[in-house]
Amino acid sequence: MADIHHLSAVRLRDAIRSGELSAREAVAHFLGRIDASNPRLGAFVTVTPDMAMADAAAADHLYARRSPGQELPPLHGMPLAFKDLTDVAGVVTTHGSAALERRPAPMDGALAAVLKGAGAISLGKTQVPEFGLTAYSENRIAPPSRNPHALSRSSGGSSGGSAAAVAAGLLPFAPGTDGGGSVRIPAAACGLLGLKPGRGLVPAGESGGDPAKLVVAGPLARSATDAALMLDALVGDRSQGAGQGSGEGPSQGSNGPESVAGYLDSVNREPAKLRIGVSLDSPWAGIFPFTPDAEALDALETGVRLLTEAGHDVVETAVRYDNRYPDAFTTAWTAGVGAARIAPQREALLTPLTRTFRRRAQQRSASKLSESLAFLRQFQRDTVAQYAEWDLILTPSLAQTPRPVGWFTGSAHGDGHWPVSEWAGDADGDYRRQCEFAPWSSMVNVCGLPAVSIPVHWTGGAAGQGLPMGIQLIGHPGSEALLLQTAAQLGF
């Protein structure tokens, strides 16, 4: 057998279910990988080897004692990890913040409960930005999460530690959560496939302070097939129609029946010929004008070529976005941190960006938040109506190559060395840089639509050479299967 970490998640699942590998062998292998590589990568904040090996032993015991024909859980014995915003019973959830006291979570959060209930084994908690607010995974409690393809670069955020771990072979796949791009951004930065499901399909998990219902959990994986395996576990039984979107919009290709049968069963079926609209328009452009890097445009050109060669109609389109969007989104996005319980004497331990946006959120009136939420609902209706002309919308995943560690914060040690004794206090500059880096992400969350980032381009000219760059495909409600089928059709 090839090295365990070279196996696809589906192949590893099959090996464990068949008895070719034990859960303990798989878990021990990945714990060894973490032990060897995490000190330079910074992907994990907390590793829980004793807990993981005990859970693996229990999985092996279940396998050995099962009765003939007894069905194993769908992710039986599969190692993964949760970003450090998600509660795992008995493990500290830091939320990436030095301002919070360190107390073990009394119970699993919704996301951990679903995946552990499906048989998965948690190896620990991965690096995140403070409260998941940013597009880079750097904070004041642990080393920054670095990009496995270039350690001087960021792995993105907020699921940056999880993405780095999967890309470096420390995990076969991992769940992320996405409230403004937090699965798709690190997937693009690390050369992975990252799927943000539509609103309501899977448990949101950790975000209680999410008045606009932006956050949804989704897979970070090395292929569409591996992502489909995790999505099936996240969604669970769809036989009663649970998790199905409205299905409104143009033809969904072969999406409908397959999503009920299972994403893994349907992922390698060819989608019908699609009409795909290509757009560089962004709702951030009015307040933060930006020019995409040549590498982002190269990735988009590659995506157009691959989709055209697959038989789809790919046509440029213009999307009109209301220029009130940035203010409304920022108001909704930062509402949760304004309400977070932080002792007054510990507020000084917050990063400058968190402290600034927390203060502004606390100073806003309730009516201002209500107005912003009402606007975002109208924005959703207007944007979805424009997207309805197309089966899918195509954009670059990111406007720039993965940024250097420390670049967003303007840290005193611009090389990103940790600990950072002083972070620059320019919260607005930090936020602007993030919006210019990932200008096509957050509106998808506002609209509640599914989207996938696919790593179609490398700056060095070949897969694994240079830095990865991706494309984003945005679908209609209920089109998760179609997005995975399209990614698989392109060879991912």
Domains identified in the chain and CATH numbers: 4-489 (3.90.1300.10)
pLDDT tens digits along 51-67: 999 999 999 999 999 99
Residue 248: predicted pLDDT: 33
β partners of residue 457: 469
Q: Using an 8 Å Cβ cutoff, are 121 and 168 in contact?
A: no
What is the set of active-site residues?
A: 83, 158, 182
Q: Using an 8 Å Cβ cutoff, are 24 and 56 in contact?
A: yes
Q: For 234, phi and psi rounded to 5 degrees?
A: -65, -40
Residue 254: predicted pLDDT: 40
187: closest CA among 468, 491, 473? 468
- Tell me what the pLDDT averaged over the chain comes to: 92
Residue with tokens 């448990």: 203
Q: Using an 8 Å Cβ cutoff, are 97 and 350 in contact?
A: yes
Q: Using an 8 Å Cβ cutoff, are 56 and 121 in contact?
A: yes
Quote the crossing angle between the two packed helices 325-333 and 366-387, to the nearest 10°.
120
Q: Using an 8 Å Cβ cutoff, are 125 and 88 in contact?
A: yes
Q: Using an 8 Å Cβ cutoff, are 452 and 487 in contact?
A: yes
> Which residues of the chain fall short of a pLDDT of 70?
1-2, 204-208, 238-261, 412-424
The structure's pTM equals: 0.94
3-state secondary structure the chain: CCCHHHCCHHHHHHHHHHCCCCHHHHHHHHHHHHHHHHHHHCCEEEECHHHHHHHHHHHHHHHHHCCCCCCCCCCCCCEEEEECCCCCECCECCCCCCCCCCCEECCCCHHHHHHHHCCCEEEEEECCCHHHCCCCCCCCCCCCCEECCEEEEECCCCCHHHHHHHHCCCCCCEEEEECCCCCHHHHHHHCCEEEECCCCCCCCCCCCCCCCCCCEEEEEECCHHHHHHHHHHHHCCCCCCCCCCCCCCCCCCCHHHHHHHCHHHHCCCCCCCCEEEECCCCCCCCCCCCCCCHHHHHHHHHHHHHHHHCCCEEEECCCCCCCCHHHHHHHHHCHHHHHCCCCHHHHHHCCHHHHHHHHHHHHCCHHHHHHHHHHHHHHHHHHHHHHCCCCEEEEECCCCCCCECCCCCCCCCCCCCCCCCCCCCCHHHHHHHHHHHCCCCHHHHHHCCCEEEEEEEECCCCCCCCCEEEEEEECCCCCHHHHHHHHHHCCC
- Six-digit token string for 487: 């990614």
Query: Chain centroid to CA 210: how far?
Result: 17
Angstrom distance (rounded) from CA 432 to CA 445? 19
212: closest CA among 55, 374, 342? 374
